[in-house]
Amino acid sequence: MTTGWSIYVIALVALNILATAWLLWWTARKRKSDANTSETTGHVWDGDLTEYNKPLPRWWINLFYLTIVFAIGYLAWYPGLGNFAGSSGWTSAREHDADKADADARLQLAYGRFEKMPIDEVARDPQAVAFGASLFANHCAQCHGADARGARGFPNLTDADWQWGGTPQDIFTSIHDGRQAAMPALAPAIGGDIGVTEVVAYVQGLSGTRTDPALAAAGKARFAGICAACHGVDGKGNPALGAPNLTDNIWLYGRDFDTLREGLHAGRAGMMPAHGPIIGETRVRLAAAYVWSLSHGTEARPTP
Share of the chain above pLDDT 70, in %: 94
Residue 34 lies in a domain: yes
Residue 29 lies in a domain: yes
pLDDT score of 300 more than 90: no
Same domain, residue pair 152 and 283: yes
Residue 216 lies in a domain: yes
Same domain, residue pair 172 and 26: no
For the ranges 57-66, 218-227, 289-298, the lowest mean pLDDT is seen at: 289-298
Same domain, residue pair 33 and 56: yes
Render pLDDT for 240-250 as a digit per residue (tens, 0 to 9).
Answer: 999 999 999 99
Same domain, residue pair 260 and 287: no
What is the Cα–Cα distance from 156 to 230, expressed in whole angstroms?
A: 21
Domain that includes residue 18, residue range: 3-77
Query: What's the confidence (pLDDT) of residue 297?
Result: 64
Residue 155 lies in a domain: yes
Residue 172 burial (C-beta neighbours within 10 Å; 0-12, 13-18, 19+):
buried
Q: State how many domains the chain has.
A: 3
Any residues with CB less than 8 A from the CB of 288 and at least 6 apart, and which?
119, 132, 168, 171, 172, 175, 176
Share of the chain above pLDDT 90, in %: 67
Please report which helix (H) or strand (E) contains residue 144, including its range. Answer: helix 141-144
Query: What's the confidence (pLDDT) of residue 187?
Result: 93
Residue 283 lies in a domain: yes
175 touches 291 (CB < 8 A): yes
Same domain, residue pair 176 and 205: no
pLDDT score of 264 more than 60: yes
Q: Which of 161, 185, 162 is nearest to 172 (CA)?
A: 162
Render pLDDT for 57-80 as a digit per residue (tens, 0 to 9).
Answer: 888 889 999 999 999 999 999 988
Same domain, residue pair 236 and 284: no
Same domain, residue pair 265 and 279: no
Same domain, residue pair 161 and 277: yes
Same domain, residue pair 169 and 289: yes
* CATH code for the domain of 174: 1.10.760.10
**Which amino acid would we find at residue 152?**
R
Q: What is the mean pLDDT of residues 29-53?
A: 72
